[in-house]
Amino acid sequence: MRTKLIKRNISGVLLLNKPIGISSHQALQIAKRIFYASKAGHTGTLDPMATGLLPVCFGDATKFTSFLLGADKTYKATLKLGYISSTGDADGVISFVGGVNLTQQQVELKLQSLIGKIMQTPPMYSAVKHQGKPLYTYARKGIEIERQPREVSIYDLQVEKLEGNKMGITVKCSTGTYIRTLAENIGRILGCGGAYLTSLCRKTIDNLDLLDAYTLDMLESMSPSQRDTCLSPTDTLLHNLPAVFVDSVAFKLLSHGQIVTDLALADKFPEMEKIRLYDQEKQFLGLGEVTTCGKIIPKRLMAIAST
């Protein structure tokens, strides 16, 4: 008789190093099983062919995943120049379009045109929704959907190596940037007709770094108590927001959804500034907003603040 696993109401953020060959959702489900977590979600989808940093949120941390959706990211990628792919990566149908005859110095000079704000059209093989369905569901049926270009920012683009038609790059970019589309643009700018991704690894999201992440194999080999030490606090997701500490009376009112006034905060913040809320013992309570008059409005609270 199979023993039924008891799910745990744990909260925290796991920095997962997603392996190649599985979707972000599959990686999430494996991590959820490993931790026996009752509730989990991830932020920042990676394609199956991509590896790297995938923040997984457990329990109350799922309330704050949206704070990473707009964060800047860093990727390392390898490209094959002079070829195009039907999917933009190595999983598609590959076609030769041109040769490469440039030095690394020439390449670096040409790629300066991509630094700054650029317009990108989302690829068909992406999770962008059209009439409620991801574009890739249409692409798999051979249906082309018209897409509108979007403005994204490329903050830095470094050529790490160039060997024949193989190029390694590191890109720091804004949210919404498609590296496979960037690869295609790089190929065209270099005059070889196009390029496609042969590998992609996400290194950072905001202040979160792949160097601090764990693989699924590492987690599987740990004891339950060791795994729990791998979780970062929930307020890691809100580190950019100012912290405000409240007393026990204010804490009780906020936990019941009531607005409290702290005159000491008056004129210290812009109108409706988002803040991290803590009690006097520095326990994270959740997300609030504060007005210029010092009124604190509770927005999303941890379970402990709602009991």
Residue range 12-70+208-234 forms a domain whose CATH class is: alpha beta
List the beta bridge partners of residue 258: none
Domain range summary for the chain, segments of one domain joined by +:
12-70+208-234, 73-205, 241-306
One of 2.60.40.10, 1.10.3720.10, 2.30.130.10, 2.60.40.2700 is the CATH number of 241-306, namely 2.30.130.10
pLDDT at 1: 45
Please state the separation of Cα 89 from the chain's center in Å.
20
What gap in Å lies between CA 149 and CA 107, rounded to an integer?
Answer: 25
One pLDDT digit (tens) per residue for the chain, 307 residues: 455 568 899 999 999 999 999 999 999 999 999 999 999 999 888 989 999 999 999 999 999 998 888 899 999 999 999 999 999 999 899 999 999 889 999 999 999 999 999 999 888 887 788 888 888 888 888 888 888 999 999 999 999 999 999 999 999 999 999 999 999 999 999 999 999 999 999 999 999 999 999 999 999 999 999 999 999 999 999 999 999 999 999 999 999 999 999 988 988 999 999 999 999 999 999 999 999 999 999 999 998 655 5
Question: Which pTM was predicted?
Answer: 0.91
- By annotation, the residues acting in catalysis are 47
What gap in Å lies between CA 10 and CA 14, rounded to an integer?
Answer: 11
What gap in Å lies between CA 243 and CA 100, rounded to an integer?
Answer: 53
Q: Indicate the CATH number for domain 73-205.
A: 3.30.2350.10
